Structure 1
Amino acid sequence: MTTEAFSAFSVEPFPRVSPGDELGSLIALTVRELGISLREGDVIVVASKVVSVSEERRVDLTSVTPGPSAVAISARTGKPAEVVQVILDESDEHFVVGDRGPIVAWHRLGYQLTSAGVDRDGPDGVWLLPADPDASARRLRDAISAMAGVNVAVVIADSDGRADRLGSTVIAIGAAGIAPLRVTEDTEPEGRGKRQAETAVDLVAAAAGIILGQRGRGAPVAVIRGVEYQASDEGVRSILHRAKKSAEPVVR
C-alpha cells in the first residue's frame, strides 16, 4: 500500500491528564471542542507518558530500596540508585553504554528501551510503561472511534535513545487498528521477488514525534492523516522478538 502524501497535526491545547482519567474519552472530547473533524482512517498517535498517567503507573521512589547492582550502576552513571533499581525491576537484561550510560534494557514485555521506558516524575517518582500497551491502544481506539463516529487507528509512541548515537527518536510501543508491519515485494528483471517488511507503526510514530509533546511541549496527541495502511489488531507485541504474554508486576 503506497502513501504518496500525508499530513500531521497536533491536538492542542490539550488538557492536563490526571491519574484515573478516561483518556480515550478525553481525546475525543478535546478533538470535538477544538472543532477537529476526525476522518475515516486517521491514525491517532498518543504519547506513552499520558497513557501511563491515566493508568496510574507511577512508582513512589521512597518505596524503593536499591540493591547492590543498582548502587554500582548509580555510581557509574550518576543516575539515582532508586531509579536504577526500578529500571532493573522492569527489565530482564540490561547493559550500560559507554562510561556513564545510558542504560539500555530489555523490558519484561519484550521491548528494548533506554531505561526500560522508565520516565522521571520529579525528584521522588517515576512513571512506568503501560502494563499492556497494545491493550491500552485498543481501549483508546474503541473510545475515540465510538465518540467520533469514524474508524480510526491508534499508535502509542515513546521516545527512546539509541545505543549507537546521541539523542533520541520516537518509536511505537502499542498499536490498534493498524498492522504493525508494511510488507512490500519488488519484482526484479530476472523474476525473483524481494520481500521487505517495514515497521509501519514506527514510521507513523516517528512522523508524529516531530510535533508530539517531548520535554514539556504539551502536545501529547497528534493526528496522522492520509497514510495508507492495513487494518489489524495484531499490535506491536506481535513483532517483538522477545515478546511475552504478560509481565508480573514487581511487588515492593
Structure 2
Amino acid sequence: MTTTTSAFSAFALEPFPTITPGDDLATVITDVLTAQPTKLQDGDVIVVASKVVSIAEERFVELAEVVPGPAALELSARTGKPAEIVELILAESTEHFVAGDRGPIIARHHLGYQLTSAGIDRAGTNGAWLLPKDPDASARSLRDAITASCGATVAVVIADSDGRADRQGATVISIGAAGIAPLRATEHTEPEARTKRQEETLTDLVAAAGLILGQRGRGAPVAVLRGISYEASDAGVASMLHHAP
C-alpha cells in the first residue's frame, strides 16, 4: 500500500523572470532557487507550468502560416474559434468533439491526452503555442539538470491548464513527470473486512499546485511542493494514458 500524504507545504519561485524562446529553463529555475531563502530538499516536487516549457522549447506557430482546410472552416463557423486555431487543433489531435452548442472543442492530442483545444494556447492575435513535443522527456531533462545543480533528489511534474467538457472554468492536470510515479494505489479495509484498492492519478493531484501557478500568466510558473509521499519512477504520465502516443 502506498503511504498517503497527511500534510504538505508549497511555495512559488518568485520573482520569476519572463521566459523567452530558446531560454535554458532549468538554469533559470536553478538561478531563482539559489536566490530563495528556502533551499531544495530530497523528495521535493517541482511543478512547472507547461506554457514556460513550450516557450523555452520554441513551440510557437505563426497563424499567418496556417492554412485552414474545409473541416477547420466548418468547425470554426460552428464554434466561433479562429479557423487557423481550429486547423492547429485538428492537426495536433486524432479525434475531437464539441462540448455544448459552441464549444469548447475537446480533442485527443496525438500524445494521448484529452484536452480542450488539444492543449493549444493562443499567443495574442498572431500566434499560438503548442504543447511540448514530449512532456515526459522535458520533465526528465529538467529533473536531471536541477538535481545536478542543487544536489537534491527531486521530482518534476509539468502541469497544464485545461477546461473540462462537463463544466465551465479551468483546472490543472499533469502532462509530464519525472522522478515520481504517476499513479499511486491506496488500500483500506471496510467493516465487512473487505479490502478495497484504489488507483489515484498522483501527478494530477500534485498538479493542484495550480493554486499557486495561477492561470494564463497570473501567478508564478514554477512551484515547489514539500512533504508529498510518492514512489520514485520515470514511467511518466504517458504510462497511465488509455491511448498511448
**TM bucket by the smaller chain?**
over 0.9
Q: Which amino acid aligns with 2:63?
A: L
1:53-106 deviations in Å (ceiling 9; x for gaps): 000001111110001111111111111000000000000000011111000000
Q: Which amino acid aligns with 1:226?
A: G
Q: Which moved more, 1:141-150 or 1:210-219?
A: 210-219
2:67 maps to which residue?
A: 65
1:239 maps to which residue?
A: 240
Deviation at 1:223, TM superposition (A): 0.6
**For 2:62 and 2:119, how far apart are their aligned partners in 1?**
16
Tell me the secondary structure at the aligned position of residue 85 of structure 1: helix
Q: Which amino acid aligns with 2:42?
A: E
Match of 2:27 among 25, 28, 39: 25
Match of 2:166 among 161, 164, 171: 164
Q: Which amino acid aligns with 1:161?
A: G
Structure 2, unpaired ranges of 5+ = none
Q: Which amino acid aligns with 2:201?
A: T
Match of 2:202 among 200, 203, 206: 200
**For 2:80 and 2:190, how far apart are their aligned partners in 1?**
53
Structure 1, unpaired ranges of 5+ = 245-252
Aligned length: 243
1:225 maps to which residue?
A: 226
Match of 2:154 among 152, 155, 169: 152
Q: Which amino acid aligns with 2:216?
A: R
1:104-146 deviations in Å (ceiling 9; x for gaps): 0000010000000000001110000000000000000011111
Residue 214 (structure 1) aligned with residue 215 (structure 2): yes
**For 1:36 and 1:56, how far apart are their aligned partners in 2?**
31
**For 1:218 and 1:67, how far apart are their aligned partners in 2?**
37
Query: Aligned Cα RMSD in Å?
Result: 1.0
Deviation at 1:185, TM superposition (A): 1.5
1:210-241 deviations in Å (ceiling 9; x for gaps): 01041231410001111111111110000000
Q: Which amino acid aligns with 1:57?
A: R
Match of 1:182 among 181, 184, 187: 184
Residue 142 (structure 1) aligned with residue 128 (structure 2): no
**For 2:237 and 2:30, how far apart are their aligned partners in 1?**
23
Match of 1:74 among 68, 73, 76: 76
Tell me the secondary structure at the aligned position of residue 139 of structure 2: helix
User: Under a length normalisation based on structure 2, what TM-score does the superposition of the two structures give?
Assistant: 0.97
Tell me the secondary structure at the aligned position of residue 213 of structure 2: coil
**For 1:79 and 1:26, how far apart are their aligned partners in 2?**
35
1:146-177 deviations in Å (ceiling 9; x for gaps): 11110010000001111001001000000000
Tell me, yes or no, if the aligned pair for 2:4 and 2:186 is still in contact at 8 Å: no
**For 1:57 and 1:96, how far apart are their aligned partners in 2?**
25
**For 1:193 and 1:61, how far apart are their aligned partners in 2?**
54
**For 1:47 and 1:151, how far apart are their aligned partners in 2?**
20
1:9 maps to which residue?
A: 11
Tell me, yes or no, if the aligned pair for 1:14 and 1:218 is still in contact at 8 Å: no
Q: Which amino acid aligns with 2:39?
A: S
Residue 90 (structure 1) aligned with residue 97 (structure 2): no
**For 2:226 and 2:39, how far apart are their aligned partners in 1?**
11
